Structure 1
Amino acid sequence: MPKYRIIVDLSDKQLYLLDGNTVVRGFPVGIGKMLTQTPSGEFTIINKQENPGGPYGAFWLGLSKPHYGIHGTNDPSSIGRRVSRGCVRMYNNDVVTLANLVPIRTRVTIRP
């Protein structure tokens, strides 16, 4: 059974899925803009919701920091840019792939 964890690297706008210490997937992401930056630190996934509606795309992965999450987007052109209110945005097909792999309580490290 894989032991997944997630690292979000804000400087290169990438989300990495690791099994132990080995990167198994990398995904491009959109992150928080200058006034609403994505918080760095150690978090966990506390909930998952398919088709949450609104701008959140195909899936929502809620983080242990209230009001923040990893989610899809209804604006694919935002991926790779600093545009969100602090959440980590992914292409919808990527966030569905990720959501199907990682369980609740998966560790998420967001680094500057």
Structure 2
Amino acid sequence: MTQQSLVSRRLSSRATRTFALVSVLFVTPFIATSSANAQVYTRAFGYASTEPGAFPTDGVLNDPATEDGALPARLRRTTVALTTTEAPGTIIIDTGNTALYYVLGGGRAIRYGVGVGREGFTWSGVQTISHKAEWPDWHPPAQMIKRQPYLPRFMAGGPGNPLGARAMYLGASEYRIHGTNDPSTIGKFVSSGCIRLTNEDVTDLFNRVNVGTKVVVLPKNGPHIAARELGPAAAEISVRPGLTPARPAVVTQRAGRQAMNIPVSSAQY
């Protein structure tokens, strides 16, 4: 009986090891594929993946040291010397240099690094801020859904929302200046025409501007703005308090009311 028990335990041990090996062989490709799919979603469509667990944490979104520290020096918020005929309070977007300037007056401006439209989706012209929202909901416009039918029809504002912590809507167009749930896209040509900043930077800009603020968007291949750095913007001018608590992100595929649902061809640039 003792010898049979020993043989039985050995067979059981071998079976357990075999099962574990087979599990690894089957599960590993699945994990790799899921990760690859999330990366493809992010690269192809300019938004962070909507897969659970793929969103940045609140800490990453709300910590300026984490966000700004990852950016190259030219994309970090700073005060610059800038010669312009635009009035103080105007926003100027240098598309080709992926930079946004908030004119302070007296030959100074605050420069922010931004992400802009990918190939075929950049634009230029003059707009005004028509609406401001904190932790905005996302209603992908009809043309975006037509190009990317798998997108959610509605996503509540929150850490996983592609619009990030703040949004400033431009006129009656479908374009916005907004935050992002993927700070790695700052400085790149990635969006469908919107201008994106880190959540920390978009909150800083949001607190400086009002509805009616003039926004000048320069063409991608036009002359670029020459500006000389003076120092951190935070030391030059103070603003109201920053980020407010975010609502949990909620995604639904049900049809909902479309926001700013105006075709690109009819947008007033």
What is the TM-score when the length of structure 1 is the normalising length? 0.92
C-alpha distance 104-21 of structure 1, shift in aligned 2 (>3 A): farther
Structure with bigger gyration radius = 2
2:205 is the counterpart of 1:98: yes
**Corresponding residue for residue 24 of structure 1:** 109
CA–CA separation in structure 1 for the residues paired with 2:189 and 2:182: 13
Show the 5 A alignment for 1:41-56: 41-52=125-136, 53=157, 54-56=161-163
What is the Cα deviation at residue 23 of structure 1?
3.2
C-alpha deviations, 1:36-58, integer Å up to 9, x for none? 22x20010000000001220000
Structure 2 Cα separation of the partners of residues 36 and 24 of structure 1: 27
- 2:165/2:178 contact within 8 Å kept: yes
The alignment's C-alpha RMSD in Å is 1.5
Report the count of equivalent residues: 110
Hey, which of these two has a bigger chunk of strand by percent? 1
Unaligned segments of structure 2, at least 5 residues: 1-86, 137-156, 220-269
Aligned 8 A contact 2:130 2:172 in 1: no
SS of 1:34's equivalent in the other structure is: coil
Q: Normalised by the size of structure 2, how large is the TM-score?
A: 0.39
The code of the aligned residue for 1:88 comes to I
Deviation of 1:19 after TM superposition, in Å, equals 2.5
In the TM superposition, 1:1-112 aligns within 5 A as: 3-20=88-105, 22-37=107-122, 39-52=123-136, 53=157, 54-112=161-219
Runs of at least 4 residues off by over 4 Å: none
What's the secondary structure of 1:97's corresponding residue? Answer: helix
Whose RCO is larger (CA < 8 A, sep 6+)? 1
Q: Which has the higher helix share?
A: 2
Instruction: Return 5+ residue gaps in structure 1 as ranges.
Output: none
1:5/1:20 contact within 8 Å kept: no
